[in-house]
A and B are shown apart, each in its own frame.
Chain A
Amino acid sequence: MKELDKKIIKILKQGYPLTKRPFSELADILKIKEDLLLEKVKGMVRNKTIRRTGVALSHRRVGITSNAMVVWNAGEAQVVKQGKAASRFAFVSHCYERATLPNWPYNLYTMIHAKSKTELQKNIIKVARATKIKNYKILRSIKELKKTTPNFI
């Protein structure tokens, strides 16, 4: 990656300034033109280096208080179909196939969110029905011990 791209990522990581021309402010620090910075950022959106320009909320603080990681024993042959079925729900934020462990056959991982415990339970059942997986485990979060964004570059 080019030096300038690295610098841009590093400065964007600190967040958008809350001034009328945030990109102009960042461009000044980088000693480049505002137009060049805007083009570079758009380029990163196009090539998907930036997954999303939107900001991240604290879901607990906006009322999404019941959250669970639910792990599913998806058959190896079925996992792609089941992963896609689970991903269709808006309340599923993350869905991955992962390696298994001895005595831990779960290979499909989902993060499921809701505004209450009852709603969370209903959402889990919806995913179970859509994926037709009977063997799953609900790992409710007891406590958030750390949550930050990665420190790239």
Chain B
Amino acid sequence: MTAKDRKLLNLIQREFPVVARPYLALGKKLKMREEEVIKRLAYLKAKKIIRHFGPSFDSRKLKYTSTLVAAKVPLKKLKSAVKMINAYPEITHNYLREGEYNIWFAIVAKNKTRLDLILKELRNKTGIAEIFSLPSVRLFKIVAVFQI
């Protein structure tokens, strides 16, 4: 990754220009040619430095329901439980963490009924009772933009 790539990433994380020729607009700010911008972005995408080359939507505005789930998964059940959890397209993030609650995952479902069904199914399939949903009460911040 070059210094120019970093500048490009810092810019394009914050805003993708909603204009007819966005790569030309980005190039003007960085003194890069449109073709060069496209070429570098293709590279950064291929290298998976860019994880998602599209906008972020507000799930609440789309009337989706989301939650964070904490689970106490015994080590011997870990592999199979993770497989069952990750199989749901509605489960967008899943992390193994330090601590008594060792598995933490996020669910974004089209409604509460579906979300509750996923939780119920997971408790049944994994045989783990300690799977707790912690819906947000208040959102203070969500800005996953990193100055690099």
Instruction: Select A23's contact among B20, B45, B57, B136, beta carbons within 8 Å.
Output: B20
Contact present for B140 and A83 (CB under 8 Å): yes
Contact present for B138 and A83 (CB under 8 Å): yes
Nearest 4 Cβ contacts at the A-B interface = A87-B141, A15-B54, A83-B140, A146-B94
Residue of A nearest to B148 (CB): A62
**Which A residues form the contact surface with B (CB < 8 A)?**
1, 9, 12-16, 18-24, 34, 38, 41-42, 45, 47-59, 61-64, 69, 79-80, 83-84, 86-87, 90, 92-99, 101, 104, 107, 109, 113, 137-153
Bitwise interface map of B from 45 to 84 toward A, beta carbon under 8 Å scored 1, else 0: 1011111111111110110100010100000000000100
Q: A94 CA to B143 CA in the complex, in Å?
A: 7
Query: Can you identify 13 A-B contacts, CB atoms within 8 angstroms?
Result: A20-B23, A34-B20, A51-B56, A51-B57, A80-B138, A97-B140, A98-B136, A98-B137, A99-B134, A101-B134, A109-B68, A146-B94, A146-B105
Q: A140 CA to B97 CA in the complex, in Å?
A: 6
Contact present for B57 and A98 (CB under 8 Å): no
Q: A149 CA to B145 CA in the complex, in Å?
A: 15
Residue of A nearest to B107 (CB): A150
Contact present for A150 and B59 (CB under 8 Å): yes
Contact present for B140 and A84 (CB under 8 Å): yes
Q: A141 CA to B103 CA in the complex, in Å?
A: 10
Would you call the interface of chain A mostly helix, strand, loop, or mixed? Answer: mixed
Contacts of B54 in A (CB 8 A): 12-16, 55, 149
Contacts of B147 in A (CB 8 A): 90
Q: A138 CA to B64 CA in the complex, in Å?
A: 29
**Counting CB contacts under 8 A, is B129 at the interface?**
no
Contact present for A62 and B9 (CB under 8 Å): yes
